[in-house]
Structure 1
């Protein structure tokens, strides 16, 4: 079942940061789409809850070098 989560992410400062987050999240099996805005400090993720979960999404953002609030 598809779910959507919007997270507040700190540390993104530019389009390169947004692309990094999108790339890390896009590599997770079950992530359907990702939006990222450094200006708004938001990351939106559509994902298949049967294949991945919020913990994996947050871990990937941390691995990219950013913090989820």
Structure 2
């Protein structure tokens, strides 16, 4: 089952930050697409809920050096 979530992410300042978050999230099994916006401080993720969950997504963002609010 495909689900999507939009999270508020603190600390993204530029396109490089967007790329770091996107690349980290795309390594999570089940993540289908990512759209990160430093301008809006948001990350939208489409994922297969049978393969991953919100905790894994949040952990990947934290591992990339950012915080989820």
Shorter-chain TM-score bucket reads over 0.9
**Aligned-pair Cα RMSD in Å:** 0.2
Unaligned runs of 5+ in 2: none
Q: Corresponding residue for 1:20?
A: 20
* TM-aligned CA deviation for residue 30 of structure 1: 0.2
TM-score by length of 2: 0.99
Q: Corresponding residue for 1:8?
A: 8
The ranges of structure 1 where at least 4 consecutive aligned residues each deviate by more than 6 angstroms after the TM superposition are: none
* TM-aligned CA deviation for residue 58 of structure 1: 0.2
1:30-49 residue CA offsets vs partner (Å, 9 max, x unmatched): 00000000000000000000
Unaligned runs of 5+ in 1: none
